[in-house]
Amino acid sequence: MVATGSGPRPAGSALGVDIGGTNIKWVHRADAAVVARGTLPTPAAGPAQVAAAIAEIAAARTVEAIGVALPGHLSPDLRSTTTIPNIDGDWQGFPLADMLERATAKPVLLMNDARAFASAELALGAARGHSDVVFMTMGTGIGGAIALGGTVLRGPGDRIGEIGHMTAAPGGDRCGCGARGCLETVAGGRALATAWSRALDSRGTGNQDRSATPEDLVQAARSGDTTARKILDTAATAVSTALGSVLAQLGLSTVVVGGGVAPAFDMMRPAVEPVLRDRWRLIGPVTLLAAALGPYAGAMGAALNATAQPLVVPSAPPRLSAI
């Protein structure tokens, strides 16, 4: 690697990519403005195909750097992936940053998707003006992040803030991380959709042509379906327990909730707030904020962080055949 710049670059042109279990979202940010954005299905064939898709997006844009947000953990040097529970394929030790740099001749920054989301919401969204915040993202799974003193904490392997993998149902369903009963096995989008699908199948009203979605569950709950309401209440209990524990441990009182399944949290909120109020003697009044930047917040955070890094470019020439 050859450094061609020293110090941070708060502005510039970057591609921010947010890899989800269902879709890849990307934004092209130039001089503090989003000039283009898009979405494509996440390839199911494995990490090499995901890398190829990102390289193809980058090839169509003129950018100085690439930021990639992933739903999992990274190697200590933040160059490779390790645990990616909700995306198909073998991600253990996959050298994503090196591979993308060879393919694009651009510096690549990897980070956890929840920490990317938090970076964007802290700088530009619902958490702007707050310095100490707990973030929760609800998508295929559940992610989390913590900001202290106006900085999103990352740590070795970008592992700080994993609310979704706190135990919420001891002995419960197996999680993609290997444990049982993690919060995301109860309240993540995949878990909510599975629970609703089982309920429909038990009634004999399941749709064989289309899998149930969290949106279907929310719609049914809003229409007064008691089973749907019960599923969301169970998820709300798990969420409030996890959030209450995090707030008690850290001494924080502001929470920002976002992600593609955040509308489900809107239905859970009436059950979450009383549980948090019950703990007010310890944690004080809690401010629950809805994320402001929408589904592209993770991609925006990846772009923001990419342009804030010292400019480092690959020393080897690009080899598109590497992907």
Q: Which residue ranges form the domains of the chain, and what is each CATH number?
A: 2-115+298-322 (3.30.420.40), 129-292 (3.30.420.40)
Q: Classify residue 92 by burial, with Cβ atoms within 10 Å: 0-12, 13-18, 19+.
A: exposed
Average pLDDT over residues 84-112: 93
pLDDT tens digit sequence for 125-168: 999 999 999 999 998 889 999 999 999 999 888 989 999 999 99
Rounded CA separation 46/98 (Å): 17
Higher pLDDT, 21 or 69: 69
User: In this predicted structure, what is the pLDDT of residue 8?
Assistant: 40
Provide the pLDDT confidence category of residue 318 given band limits of 50, 70 and 90: very low
Provide the pLDDT confidence category of residue 311 given band limits of 50, 70 and 90: very low
Q: Are 264 and 235 in contact (CB under 8 A)?
A: yes
pTM: predicted TM-score of the whole model, two decimal places? 0.87
- pLDDT at residue 117 greater than cutoff 80: yes
| DSSP 8-state class, residue 296 | G
Largest CA distance in the chain: 63
- pLDDT at residue 320 greater than cutoff 60: no
User: In this predicted structure, what is the pLDDT of residue 59?
Assistant: 94
Rg (CA), the chain: 20
User: In this predicted structure, what is the pLDDT of residue 157?
Assistant: 87
pLDDT tens digit sequence for 249-304: 999 999 999 988 888 998 999 999 999 999 999 999 999 999 999 999 999 999 99
User: In this predicted structure, what is the pLDDT of residue 286?
Assistant: 94
Task: Quote the percentage of the chain above a pLDDT of 90.
Answer: 75
Provide the pLDDT confidence category of residue 321 given band limits of 50, 70 and 90: very low
Task: Quote the percentage of the chain above a pLDDT of 70.
Answer: 92
User: In this predicted structure, what is the pLDDT of residue 322?
Assistant: 33
Task: State whether residue 35 is helix, strand or coil.
Answer: strand
Distance set, CA 76 to CA 45, 82, 116, 188 (Å): 26, 10, 17, 27
As a whole number, the mean pLDDT across the chain is 89
Instruction: Give DSSP secondary structure letters for 43-106.
Output: PSS-HHHHHHHHHHHHHTS--SEEEEEESS-B-TTSSSB---TTSSS--TTB-HHHHHHHHHSS
Place of tokens 């199948």: 201
Instruction: Give DSSP secondary structure letters for 103-131.
Output: HHSS-EEEEEHHHHHHHHHHHHSTTTT-S
Helix (H) or strand (E) holding 266: helix 262-277
User: In this predicted structure, what is the pLDDT of residue 316?
Assistant: 42
- Which span out of 30-39, 53-62, 201-210, 257-266 was modeled with the highest average pLDDT? 53-62
Average pLDDT over residues 235-247: 95
User: In this predicted structure, what is the pLDDT of residue 278?
Assistant: 92
Provide the pLDDT confidence category of residue 309 given band limits of 50, 70 and 90: low
